[in-house]
Amino acid sequence: MASFSSLDDMRSIQLKIEEKAHNLFKEKPGGQAPLSVTRILKSQENGRFFEKDRKVLNLSHVKMLRNETNDASQIFTINQDRSWTTLNTSRDVFEGFMSTYKIMPPFWRYMFTFGRKSEENEFEFPRFRQRRTRNPSSDCFTQELAYMLRRVELKNREVAEGDSIWSIRQTAVYQRRDPCIQPQQNSIVPVESRSTFLLVSPSKNVELQFAEYLDEATGSAAPLSVWNTHRILIADSLRGWIDYMAYLEKRLKHQSDEIVLATVGTDKINFSPLTDFKIDFEDRQELKIIEDYVLDLEVILPGMLDSITGVRDQCVLNLTSYDHEDDQRYEMEAIIEELNEYIGEVKMHIERAKNLKDKANSTAQLLSDLLSYEENVALKDLARKTQERSTKDAAAVKILTVITLVYLPTTIVANFFSTQFVQTDPNGHMRVSPKVWILAAISLPLTFFTILLWWGCVHFTKVEQTIDPAQPGVVTLQRAHSFRSVVSTKKKKKDLESGLVDSAQSLRSSTFRRAASTPTWSSDATAVSVKAR
């Protein structure tokens, strides 16, 4: 492990390493090196020359490169096959590299954003960090920079329907600058400077740009600024965001057009039907996915702005702190101006992301309103059909009632003449029995009792709304204070009183049994039981 400051929480970092190391590192077989390095060497006779993509196979190679005093700059690279897989290096080689080059331990937090994972977590990405330490044995100061860059690239594979064709990837950047300075004629003149870069999962485009840049500078005696490395990395990370945001806007506009262009019927009723409404809950899910993409932009872009601003500020600080040759100063000023342009570009992307968020929210709100509107239309149509059915049923019942009333007198007369009170003799003469009064004596009290019972049920029955505790959203209508409920309530009250009486008797009997051995305690318990009653 690298040397650390007293401010570094090494315990939590080490616990995190043990937790994530198995998903972070996996050295690839078949001659693929855990690290590769591009060296920029100094030569007074032939200017500068380069050694590109040298394989670093083990820790001994790392230590050997650390002791190379003729290197003006070393750029180490760790590759990754896919964005959500392990890094192509081993844990032993990486920890040995950090210890040999004395990389600040907080750089582990940038490494934790890589490795195997099933979903992205934008809040794991740390912000720009810089550290400046002084070597107590000399007047040398060490400057360390670390930051994350996010970029978007097209997926080089087929995607499922509805899935994004873009992939968001990241590159971790670390720079260690060891300038040895000495006072000379009341000024600080850099005598020797050496920069060490570590790039984790850079894009193929960055590697090509580095190769072209080094080929153009081969054999040139002009000073090369290490800030060109940052410039190339930042420019590469910004090249795809415009197309990506245009892609999101296109998907959002497609959903918005389906909602806005939905035709509403023209019937003269309170709720007109949606004649060609073909949007369902799947469209709301699609909008939710787009909203998540836009929300990710609100986390990614401010992080990139913080990183680019931090690099720009360190470049300005380096320009104002040391004396540089005219050519080198001109190059650094051009780099600072270009970084300022990148900062403005990221700010513009942030504003566009806010506009996309507003459009997504308004489209989602409109879709929710239309879904609610369609639900209201369906409920109104259901209510109308129910009312029509109820009206038809009421009409049918009315007709049956009228028919019954029409035939009721005939039915009563026929029933009366079919009884034993009316008889026909052999001569055909009809004779009414003198005991016909029994029919009236029985039927009239029964009719009066039936009417009285019906009036009592109607008068003492009240319909109330009840809510089921198991289903709070379901309201049912139940009859309360009916004859049956009154009887059941009285029965429950009687059972409860009998239970209390039985409990009091059992308590009193147990108290009396205990009174033989402890009379004083028995008296107190009896008093308590009486009060309780």
The whole-number average pLDDT for the span 314-335 is: 81
Q: pTM for this one?
A: 0.69
- The 8-class DSSP code of residue 262 comes to P
The whole-number average pLDDT for the span 60-75 is: 86
CB 99 within 8 A of CB 1: yes
Q: What is the pLDDT of residue 75?
A: 92
- Does the pLDDT value for residue 292 go beyond 70? yes
Q: What is the pLDDT of residue 110?
A: 94
Among 254-258, 315-319, 457-461, name the most confident range.
315-319
pLDDT tens for residues 183-194?
444 444 344 468
- Does the pLDDT value for residue 324 go beyond 50? yes
Longest dimension (CA), the chain: 161
Sorting pLDDT into bands at 50, 70 and 90, what band is 180? low
pLDDT tens for residues 394-447?
889 999 988 988 988 888 888 878 887 788 878 878 888 888 888 888 888 888
The C-alpha atoms of residue 109 and residue 196 are separated, in whole angstroms, by: 19
- More confidently predicted of 472 and 329: 329
pLDDT tens for residues 339-393?
999 999 999 999 999 999 999 888 888 878 877 877 777 788 788 888 889 989 9
With a CB cutoff of 8 Å and minimum separation 6, the contacts of 55 are 33, 35, 36
pLDDT tens for residues 299-311?
999 999 999 999 9
Compute the half-sphere exposure of residue 167: CA atoms within 13 Å on the CB side of its CA: 14
Closest among 359, 357, 356, 370 to 281, alpha carbons compared: 370
The whole-number average pLDDT for the span 208-232 is: 78
Q: Name residue, tokens 């990241």.
A: 170
- Does the pLDDT value for residue 214 go beyond 50? yes
Q: What is the pLDDT of residue 484?
A: 53
Q: What is the pLDDT of residue 280?
A: 67
What's phi and psi for 111, nearest 5 deg?
Answer: -70, -30
The whole-number average pLDDT for the span 12-21 is: 90
Q: What is the percent of the chain where pLDDT is above 90?
A: 29
Provide the token pair at 349. 């992307």
DSSP symbols for 477-533: EEEES-HHHHHHHHHHHHHHHHHHHHHHHHHHHHHHHHHTT-HHHHHHHHHHHHHH-
- Does the pLDDT value for residue 35 go beyond 80? yes
Q: What is the pLDDT of residue 519?
A: 41
Q: What is the pLDDT of residue 503?
A: 53
The C-alpha atoms of residue 62 and residue 429 are separated, in whole angstroms, by: 137
Least confident of 126-135, 141-150, 323-332, 484-493: 484-493
pLDDT tens for residues 238-273?
999 999 999 999 988 888 887 777 666 545 444 455
- Does the pLDDT value for residue 526 go beyond 80? no
